[in-house]
Amino acid sequence: MVNIDYSKTKKFISDEEVEIMSKKTLEAKKELLSKEGAGNDFLGWLDLPENYDKEEYERIKKASEKIKSDSQVLVVIGIGGSYLGARAAIEFLNDGFYNDVDSSIRKTPRIYFAGNSISSTYLKGLEKAIGDADFSVNVISKSGTTTEPAIAFRYFKEKLEKKYGKSEAAKRIYATTDKKKGALKTLADAEGYETFVVPDDVGGRFSVLTAVGLLPIAVSGADIDKLMKGAQDARKVCNEKEFKENPALIYAAIRNILLRKGKSVEVMANYEPSLHYVAEWWKQLYGESEGKDQKGIFPASVDLTTDLHSMGQFIQDGARILYETVLNVEDAGCEIIMQNAENDLDGLNYLAGKDMDFVNKSAMNGTILAHTDGNVPNIIVNIPKKDEETLGQLFYIFEFACGVSGYILGVNPFNQPGVEAYKKNMFALLGKKGYEKEREELLKRL
């Protein structure tokens, strides 16, 4: 099971502080599980690993088989919680080269993500990358009205219809959205797309274990039963275990103690490039959940050792507002043994016979100690291996810890009122109906 090692924070916090905060985590856990706290109409994710629509789950598998059989490419359109979980999973479960592997080896469609920016260059580039390949689209939007995915969907819907004709195109479009309402649901019903549901009581950033994440993940060839099994196991631990055996509570406690000591930035660090998007998913989860009412920990991330050569200086030596959460994949899952070179010009012969992962882990351990010495507390998340079950655990533990942590912080972790501000301005500047007055005011300020 994924576990949390906070021994490298002990220089900064006392056992007594942990003891006091552990009580707060237990209270917050009780509040979460009683479903009586703030945002309690968005707690469907708590029980998702067990309590999900079994009929729809089978349809997800069937749809993934169809996509695998008739498409060389799947374009997944969505943003935020309607995007990051699937991307995190597909990257985590592969090695960063999923799309580049020859199709005679990979046997599943290439998967591209769109609708997560408003860049015309990106869409044009993606169209070029798809070329003549047969493709399908999974458009994902809980609200059905988010501008970025709506623009991308309009674009690819037209391309599909041009290539296959309207009726065949409709068979290649899968819409994941609200059960009953919203523009996407209305369009899907009118055009006859297969639809999947983002449940009412599951917010976007907590939705990876619904069709939002499961359909694209299944198309990549990953075993979603195992993903759900991992989440089930973690649910049991997070819901039932007391503090010392509960990774979600430990993580929530330590980060809240550190925040109260002025550590207001949490830097998630990985030593595996394939974990980059796990950090991106985590950033949305914690940023949207906790960053409100002028409170919260700012979630940031670095890819190491890459960023030791760019951000390493700041972490070691800059403003002491940081703590670090290190994602440690214990079993790299493959081996590269360092070879002896005749002339040893690069001076690496002392590593001959050693596994490259030993070098990576030594860099990690050396960095953890150096950063701790530089007064950056380090929390370590031990991830036994890179497989579906472990990822299911990781997703659930972070989600549960987020709910607990938000309640300790005294915010509603399940809303996101702050994201509306930019949308209002953007609509006004675009000249959308109903925003005329705001437009006038904004234009004066530009």
Q: What positions carry a catalytic annotation?
A: 288, 423
Interacting residues of 82 by C-beta distance below 8 A, sequence separation 6+: 140, 141, 142, 146, 149, 176, 198, 204, 207, 212
Sign of the torsion formed by the C-alpha atoms of 90, 93, 97 and 103: negative
Where would I find the H helices in 246-354?
247-260, 276-290, 312-317
State the DSSP code for 337: B
Question: Which residue, 149 or 392, is less far from ligand F6P as judged by CB?
Answer: 149
CB of 408 to ligand F6P, least distance (A): 22
The answer to whether 285 touches 205, Cβ cutoff 8 Å, is yes
Q: Which residues bind ligand F6P (CB under 6 A)?
A: 79-82, 141-143, 146, 149, 204-205, 288, 416, 419
CB of 90 to ligand F6P, least distance (A): 18
CB of 99 to ligand F6P, least distance (A): 23
Tell me which residue of 215, 228, 226 sits closest to 65, measured CA to CA. 215
CB of 319 to ligand F6P, least distance (A): 29
Question: Which residue, 21 or 285, is less far from ligand F6P as judged by CB?
Answer: 285
Q: Which helix (H) or strand (E) holds 327?
A: strand 322-331
Question: Which residue, 205 or 386, is less far from ligand F6P as judged by CB?
Answer: 205
Rg of the chain on CA atoms, in Å: 23
Terminal-residue alpha carbon distance, the chain = 53
CB of 108 to ligand F6P, least distance (A): 25
Tell me which residue of 373, 306, 84 sits closest to 203, measured CA to CA. 84
Question: Which residue, 162 or 424, is less far from ligand F6P as judged by CB?
Answer: 424
Question: Which residue, 145 or 340, is less far from ligand F6P as judged by CB?
Answer: 145
